[in-house]
Structure 1
Amino acid sequence: MWKKLTGLKDQLHAARGQSVGMQRRLMLYWVSMILAVFAALLLVLSVAGVFSGSDQKLNQALITEQNNVSIQLAQQMGALTAQGVALSSQITNILDDALYIGSVSTLNDQGNRLIALERQLFTPLNAAIQSSPCNGVFVILDATTNTAAPTAETSRAGLYLRFMNLSNKSAVNQDIVYFRGVPEVARENQLELHNRWNLEFDTSRLPGYARLMGQTVTRLADSAHWTGRVRLTDTWEDALLLLVPIQGSDGTTQGVCGIELGDLYFRLSYPAYQSEFGSMVTVLAPMSEGRLRLSQGMTGGLEGTYLSNTDTLTVKEGNYFNTYEGESGTFLGVHTRLNLEINEAPVCAVTLIAQDSWAAAAAQRRTVWILSSLCFLLLMLGLSFCLSRRFVKPIFQSFQAIQEENALESEPSGISEIDALMDFIRSKNQNQAIGEGGLPPDIAELFNTFARRAESLTATERNILRYYADGREISEVAELAYISIHTVRKHNANMYQKLGVGSRDELMLYLELFRRCGRLDELF
């Protein structure tokens, strides 16, 4: 095993000592320079924010979240509307059985009959709240227990069941509180009275109630009406209310039933989604004339944002996302129109994110790209510099050794063509002229190739090449040729390309070798 390791080590040392062709070194150098230019371009584009792709990334994140919440909202609101219509039909059947002939208004001042009726209505209401994605259900009858009361015109009997102590969007194992209705029904069903309990409803504070009571019902689903966000009577709680008319057997409207979608319930159902760009907020609100009216809708969890649920946002369409501007700030997002209306305005499901949080995340992504591009550029520049030194330095040293006639003492350059030539020079007497016939085949081919390439030079380039062969510097060449140094450099670049050299030092080495071999005139 030790012998094998020793042999492998010797092979590695031998491989390092082998010369590499000039063409391969030049190719490696140019590859590093091309990569350096590419890194510089990458850095410029990164500063411009081209590669961070923040707009596209935000668009994808918004669309993904929007698809989820819009489908969920459409299903929830559709299910609530269907549940409200079904509840209205159930209550109509109960009223028909209880009243036989006549309207519900015949129950005015009939306390015992109202209690008996509310006992029957409790069952479908309790079933509805347990099975619906909401936090409250109610029924309002067009009757009152005391027509002599000062508020009799707007006071109406009924039942209102609500969930209390909400902790999540599931109705399972939630406690039900008795918000409106006769207390006897609450006691019989072991329900706690709400701390703002009242016997009857104040319909003056219920938007749309009077309109529903005065209209002729043709189809319950078409008559169902969602109010905007309203403050529940004597509470600090806001809610959207679905109102569905209750149709009697004679075709008249006997009252309304409905479903509550509370503000707290909605926030728990749609918490803020934490994305890489910040908190995404779900909004359900009417939109008309390019304005999103949050005060009439519902907002999900607002954690990590400064959005106000009473603001009105002006909508500006964009390529990747829309801009929503209001008093509480500027937000970015997308919206989807639902098959729903509030106050005769179409309702939209909206996903929003604060512009400031997106800008901070975008700046961070851009910084990462800039630093990565800068590191790549510095690495490529360092590699190019090292390769340049490793490529040019041995050429310069060999050129100097030939000029000083110290070829016998010079170290190997590591470039196969130069090392072969130096070996040939060492094998000859320093004072002996070198003829073409004495050159090794590979060196002779190198000279012949260079001479053929020199034939492609223009007259001006050939004249500049002669000045260099005479030992002139670039400033002297400019004066002798009556041209600017910039023009000389342009000619130099063309000459290097045509002659297949990578630098002036390499060019001067070729000229010196042609001079020592007595073939310099072939180049002019």
Structure 2
Amino acid sequence: MGVITLLGVSKLSEIKQRFIKTGSLRLSMGPRLFLFLIVLVVTMLLGIIAILLLTGTFTAKLNTHEELIQNKLSFTWRNISNQYGQLSVESVDLATELSKSIEKRLQEQGLEVSDLQDHPELLEALIAGEYERALFSLQRSKSSGVFIILDATVNPKLKNAEASRAGLFIKNMEPNILSSSSPTIVLLRGFPNIGRSNTIPLHTQWSMEFDITNASYYRIPMEAASQQTLPLSRLYYWNPAITLPGTSEEVMLCSVPLIDSKGNVFGVCGFEVSAMLFKLSHLPDNRIYNRISCMLTPVSQNTFDVSQAMFSGGYSARNVFADNQLLHFKESQKKSFFSYREEGGDSFLGFHTSIELYPKGSAFSHEDWAVALMVPTEDIISSIANANYNLALKFVLLMILGIIVSFFLSKYYMRPIKKSFDMIKSNGLIETPKTEIPEIDDLIEFLSLENESFQKKGEEDPSSVVLNEFLKNLKTLSPAERSVFNLYVQQYTAKEIAAKLCLSINTIKTHNKRIYAKLNVTSRKELLVFINMLEEAGKKFHC
């Protein structure tokens, strides 16, 4: 039967004993390889996770958000600074031109600017004469409005004449740059004849004169110009966000005093930045944070006065604040996000940076302003949690993929090996098959050579060798042992043999031990197996 039969017979007892001792057989190569690959995949993933933990990748999500918002803030701050700086310059230029033009018009009639209050009949013509200049300045500045306020009223005898001032306020209702080619111009303040003459409609909230009852944009720059001898570039004033009397839209106004050549202050002029224009110009990118908001606000002792701030964003933080609400902020000890919190209200995370609306030496350079970008705290926490969840999910999917790949790789790797063993079993080494696996081909060749060697030496069949060895050992039995053996051959039991030979059971047991030792068996059952094998093989033995 060949070497394979020899190996099977000689190892049968050993495998049986190992199975009895361990209670189980060892894993085959396929499952072993599969488990090895799984361990390899898991080890690699754990190593990657450990590296990510050591390098702070999992905890770096917060730093990523901080860097992202800081970059957005830097970009927004630059845009706001450029816009407000440009409007400040153009407001000063407009005030310079208007001061000279109005003074010249009055001088042509033999009057001074101080005579305006005594000649209200001149106001309409004087203001109408500056309409084209104001409109051109509005279009050039790309602001949402331009205004002129003279220190005089059309009817000084009216009861509220002290709080009423004549002037002109032209608004661009579509201050978006994209539609600047065909803006919608309306008259918010001024003589109605100016609108009719220039074919522009009156605003739905039109009034002929300005109400300056609480008009800080009018009083403050005029008082500063009256008290200080400074150039116009140091006297312009940015009024915090307010709602103009009789209107509904929040605006910021850049006001510059009108001063004649003798230093007389006779009004103000400037440009408007509406809430809509601010929002369109500085809308933060909300692709990552849906509720991010930008704010230009006065700053005082770690506090933002939200009621005087301008906001932009798809979500406005002002929506959650009560009127005239203060927003307190403090810097993190780890130099990360600033924390912004309304008393008893919502909290935000973000950054802010100071912005200089006025140059050094300005009458209002003591005022502190800041640009802030804020996101609701819960949005930042949710974003970080989602990012880590997605990363963990990717690791789980990668592990599952690794297990699947390991399974198929182990199958693919074991397929030729199993096929090779099947070839060995089927051929019985009569022929030497080729498996294209060098190690297995070498083993087959070695076994084939050993098989030929056995055949050349005339070795008998392995089963015959075993039985011949048994017969040889049988001759070593003593006559008494042989008598007991012969009775076993005849299927007698130990008790029956004791009775038949008139011996005690202990004597029979003693004979059994010697018989088993000489014949190299361990039990009566195994002894009978050999006897049956001898009978099937036709081996002759004398009872």
- Fold shared, TM-score > 0.5 on shorter chain: yes
Aligned-pair CA distance for 1:430 = 12
Partner of 1:467: none
- CA contact 2:80–2:282 (8 Å) conserved in 1: no
- When residues 429 and 271 of structure 1 are mapped into structure 2, their CA distance, relative to the original with a 3 A threshold, is closer
> 1:43 offset after TM fit, Å?
5.1
**Which sits farther off after the overlay, 74-83 or 333-342?**
333-342
Call closer, same or farther: CA 1:115–1:428 in 2, change over 3 Å: closer
2:308 is equivalent to residue 296 of structure 1: yes
Question: How far apart are 1:412 and its partner, in Å?
Answer: 11
State the partner residue of 2:339.
323
TM-aligned CA deviation for residue 80 of structure 1: 0.6
Equivalent in 83, 89, 92 of residue 99 of structure 2? 92
Question: Which SS does the other structure have where 2:171 is aligned?
Answer: strand
C-alpha distance in 1 between matches for 2:104 and 2:287:
55
1:172 deviation in Å?
Answer: 3.1
Aligned to 2:149: 140
Q: What CA distance in whole angstroms lies between the structure 2 residues aligned with 1:211 and 1:55?
A: 44
CA RMSD, aligned part only? 4.2
How big is the shift at 1:185?
2.1
Quick check: 1:104–1:142 contact (8 Å CA) kept in 2?
Answer: no
Is the 8 Å Cα contact of residues 62 and 351 (structure 1) preserved in structure 2?
yes
CA distance in 1, matches of 2:373, 2:221: 33
Matches within 5 A, 1:102-501: 103-164=112-173, 170-214=179-223, 215-303=227-315, 308=320, 312-317=327-332, 319=335, 321-326=337-342, 329-340=346-357, 344-381=366-403, 420=442, 424-425=446-447, 427-428=449-450
Matched, 1:79 2:86: yes
Deviations 1:245-283 (A, max 9, x none): 111221121111121111122223233423234343332
1:275 and 1:315, CA in 2 relative to 1: closer, same or farther beyond 3 A?
farther
1:19-52, Cα deviation, whole Å (9 max, x unpaired)? xxxxxxx999978644421213445777998348
Q: Deviations along 1:435-459, whole A, 9 cap, x unmatched?
A: xxxxxxxxxxxxxxxxxxxxxxxxx
Unaligned runs of 5+ in 2: 1-31, 359-363, 421-427, 455-543
Unaligned segments of structure 1, at least 5 residues: 1-25, 399-405, 433-524
**How far apart, CA to CA, are the structure 2 residues paired with 1:353 and 1:169?**
28
Moved more, 364-373 or 304-313: 304-313
Structure with the greater alpha carbon radius of gyration: 2
Q: Is 1:69 matched with 2:65? A: no
Alpha-carbon deviation of 1:196? Answer: 2.3
Shift of 1:61: 3.3
Q: Following TM superposition, by how much is the alpha carbon of 1:364 offset from its aligned partner in structure 2, in angstroms? A: 2.7
CA contact (8 A) 1:224 1:242 kept: yes
Cα offset, 1:292, TM superposition? 3.0
Letter of the structure 2 residue corresponding to residue 36 of structure 1: V
- Cα shift readout 1:75-126 (whole Å, capped 9, x = no counterpart): 1101110111011101111222123376534222523211221122222211
| Alignment check: 8 A CA contact 2:216 2:239 kept | yes
- Alpha carbons of structure 1 residues 298 and 413: separation in structure 2 relative to 1, 3 Å: same
CA 1:93–1:361 in structure 2 vs 1: closer, same or farther (change >3 Å)? same
**Equivalent-residue separation in structure 1 for 2:91 and 2:239 (angstroms):** 14
Q: Give how far 1:56 is off.
A: 4.2
Q: 3-state DSSP class of the match of 1:345?
A: coil
| CA 298–315 in structure 1, closer or farther in 2 if over 3 Å, else same | farther
Deviation (angstroms), 1:407: 11
Q: Distance in 2 between matches of 1:390 and 1:167?
A: 66
1:84 maps to amino acid: S
CA distance in 1, matches of 2:367, 2:51: 45
Inter-partner Cα distance in structure 1 for 2:136 and 2:285: 32
Between the aligned residues of both structures, percent identity stands at: 26
In the alignment, is the contact (CA less than 8 A) between 1:94 and 1:120 conserved in 2? no
Q: Tell me the residue number matched to 1:478.
A: none
Partners of 1:413 and 1:419 within 8 A in 2: yes
